[in-house]
Amino acid sequence: MAVTIKDVARLAGVSASSVCRTLAAPDKVRPDTRERVQRAVAELGYYPNRAARGLITGRTGNLGLIVPDIANPFFPDIIKAVEARARELDYAVFLADTDEDPAAEVALIRAMSKQVDGFLLVSARCSDDELRSVYRDLPVVVVQRRVRHVPAVTFDDHDGILQAVGHLATLGHRRVAYVAGPRTSWSNKERQRILRLTTSAVGVELVDTGHAAPTLDGGTAVADLVLATGATAVMTFNDLMALGLLRRFRALGVEVPGDISVVGFDDIPLAELVDPPLTTIALAKQKAGRAGIDMLIGLLNNPETAAPRTVLPTQLTVRASTGPARRG
């Protein structure tokens, strides 16, 4: 059986409340009592049960972090930043993966909600209403999404996309395909919207190839469709899909960027590793994790604040997967 506050109290020869006090406010107990308690704590390796504490204080010291897919290298960078920052602030992070399934997302939030003080939801796939309903019960910060009345950290997709479209236009591309990500993804909708605006502004035709899974296999599956559109360049919802395209293009003998240019989104660590290295729109991932936690903790300490917003920069990173348009 795990060691409880009573075990410590018994060993130290004091009451449970004295143990509690020693831990919470060491200067409110007599030095000799304090010392006896501290020795007992050390000897038994006592560690308070945060769940039980949460029952009475309403605070567990835990935060929930939910992402759609840990296998997508985009998320680990954010997760690492979140965990590092949370550790600094003495919070534990409970991480869960929804497998891109909105239903699983809601179920997970349900299951965790009584055991955490708040949620950081990254690229949440559930509906706005569900999100707001969670927010009614518990502090929530969404990352890479925007929902009315809910605190959010987002990326300035407009800036990055503008750079990318400008880059392609300069290279002579006049027909650009976009491979969309999940229908349930807010940022996918956003990127589609921005792409329509920016391409038409510079006289580039935007071709839609429909939705695909935001994974390697998703990209691979849609590659032939992309080629069939006759586009000289393709942008994807994320880097994994772009890498999937590259894989299929190589198998088909389609040259990149000779036959077609490819632009991804996220700048995951693999992007520069493949052949050719991937041109992509980089997001300030670490900053996002840190900003998200800081915002969440702020909400915890100050629940009545209006929903804050943070927008983080994006930056086109040009590598070898983009080049001059093949002559139509």
Partner DNA sequence: TTGTACGCGTTATCAC
Partner DNA sequence: GTGATAACGCGTACAA
Binding site for DNA (CB under 7 A): 1-2, 4-6, 14-18, 20-21, 23-24, 28-30, 32-33, 46-49, 52-53, 55-57, 114
Kindly state the tokens that stand for 233: 């360049």
Asked whether position 111 contacts a second copy by CB under 8 A, the answer is yes
- Grouping H, G, I as helix, E, B as strand and the rest as coil, residue 154 is strand
Residue 243, phi-psi category: left (phi > 0), alpha (psi -120 to 50), beta (remainder): alpha
Are 135 and 293 in contact by the 8 Å Cβ rule? The answer is no
How far is 170 from 233, CA to CA, in rounded Å?
12
| Residue 97 binds: one of a second copy, DNA, none (C-beta under 5 to 8 A by kind) | a second copy
Asked whether position 97 contacts a second copy by CB under 8 A, the answer is yes
| Residue 119 binds: one of DNA, a second copy, none (C-beta under 5 to 8 A by kind) | none
Which phi and psi angles does 260 have, rounded to 5°? Answer: -155, 140
How far is 73 from 186, CA to CA, in rounded Å?
19
Q: Is the dihedral of CA 114, 120, 126, 129 positive or negative?
A: positive
Asked whether position 6 contacts a second copy by CB under 8 A, the answer is no
Asked whether position 70 contacts a second copy by CB under 8 A, the answer is yes
User: For residue 92, what are the β-bridge partners?
Assistant: 62
Q: Which amino acid appears at position 246 of this protein?
A: L
| Cβ distance to DNA smaller for residue 28 or 80 | 28
Rg (C-alpha) for the chain, rounded Å, is 25
Site string for a second copy, 227-246 (x = CB under 8 A): ----------------x--x
| Cβ distance to a second copy smaller for residue 119 or 186 | 119
Asked whether position 275 contacts a second copy by CB under 8 A, the answer is yes
| Residue 122 binds: one of DNA, a second copy, none (C-beta under 5 to 8 A by kind) | none
| Residue 62 binds: one of DNA, a second copy, none (C-beta under 5 to 8 A by kind) | a second copy
Least distance (Å) between residue 130 CB and a second copy: 11
| Residue 102 binds: one of a second copy, DNA, none (C-beta under 5 to 8 A by kind) | none
* Residues contacting residue 105 through CB under 8 Å, at least 6 positions apart: 66, 68, 98, 121, 124, 125, 126
Are 221 and 212 in contact by the 8 Å Cβ rule? The answer is yes
Kindly state the tokens that stand for 22: 């020693």
Residue 165: closest CA among 202, 207, 219, 208: 202
The CA distances from residue 115 to 52, 86, 119, 174, in Å, are: 10, 16, 11, 53
| Residue 137 binds: one of DNA, a second copy, none (C-beta under 5 to 8 A by kind) | a second copy
Least distance (Å) between residue 109 CB and DNA: 16
Residues 165-194 that bind a second copy (CB under 8 A): none
| Residue 201 binds: one of a second copy, DNA, none (C-beta under 5 to 8 A by kind) | none
Compute CA 95 distance to the chain's CA centroid, rounded to the nearest angstrom. 11
Asked whether position 23 contacts a second copy by CB under 8 A, the answer is no
Asked whether position 77 contacts a second copy by CB under 8 A, the answer is yes
The CA distances from residue 37 to 24, 25, 49, 52, in Å, are: 12, 13, 17, 20
Contact positions vs a second copy (CB under 8 A) = 2, 47-52, 54-55, 60, 62, 70-71, 73, 76-77, 79-80, 83-84, 87, 92-97, 99, 104, 108, 110-115, 137-138, 216, 243, 246-247, 269-270, 273-275
